[in-house]
A and B are shown apart, each in its own frame.
Chain A
Amino acid sequence: GAVVSQHPSRVICKSGTSVKIECRSLDFQATTMFWYRQFPKQSLMLMATSNEGSKATYEQGVEKDKFLINHASLTLSTLTVTSAHPEDSSFYICSARVLSGRVNTEAFFGQGTRLTVV
């Protein structure tokens, strides 16, 4: 399957600082990338949908100014957690869909980023 690389895999930051997480599609072009948050023993919660060259679409309840998403190219999307607080500590996962003429395409996931805010 297609490869999605997420970096870093783990990050610890101080409260009040900002953290950037990168998501890259390595061997395909992705018009759409998705950012999820996952709490322990729970399912994936979609935070936002990121389309290349346009503003991200955020899910209800997700703060746009806190979770900044940039999708500058067909292979890279970034999520920046601004002014992080301990409650932002979580597992963040990105996924990317293959650019294709097909309507139905698989979504491939990155390895995830474990964010700990101290």
Chain B
Amino acid sequence: GQQLNQSPQSMFIQEGEDVSMNCTSSSIFNTWLWYKQDPGEGPVLLIALYKAGELTSNGRLTAQFGITRKDSFLNISASIPSDVGIYFCAGQLKGEGAQKLVFGQGTRLTINP
């Protein structure tokens, strides 16, 4: 099936550092979504992107929908302890299968105080 390649798989950073993660695919997506999941909880939507080239911010988070429609990145600035968790990208395919979301493998973020 369709796959999103999300990287890095894990990150160990110091509090206050900036974070960057990205997702790429060989398929074209209509929508890119970024989620954060805490242990034992469902994913929570952080940012939704709908147009190629779109750059959207949500507080310290910034995400962009790649021009080619095949990639997206998420940046977190000045990380704080509550940013710890697993971040997932998700894309909605163009055309057939457009109802479903395809998920990346996740990026596990660990912050050292």
Contacts and interface: CB of A to CB of B under 8 A. Distances in A.
B49 to A, nearest CB: 9
Interface string A89-116: 0010101010000011011111110100
Contact of B42 (A43, A60, A93, A104): A93
Interface residues of B, number: 25
B73 interface: no
Given A49-B99, A104-B50, A43 B41 contact: no
A44 interface: yes
Given A103-B30, A104-B50, A107-B33, A1 B45 contact: yes
A112 B44 CA distance: 11
Contacts of B31: 104
Contact of A44 (B1, B88, B108): B88
Nearest to B105: A43
A44 B50 contact: no
A104 B45 CA distance: 14
Contact of A106 (B41, B42, B45, B106): B45
Interface class of chain A by DSSP: strand
A106 B48 CA distance: 7
A4 B92 CA distance: 20
Contacts of A32: 99
B30 to A, nearest CB: 6
A97 B98 CA distance: 12
B42 A109 contact: yes
A46 interface: yes
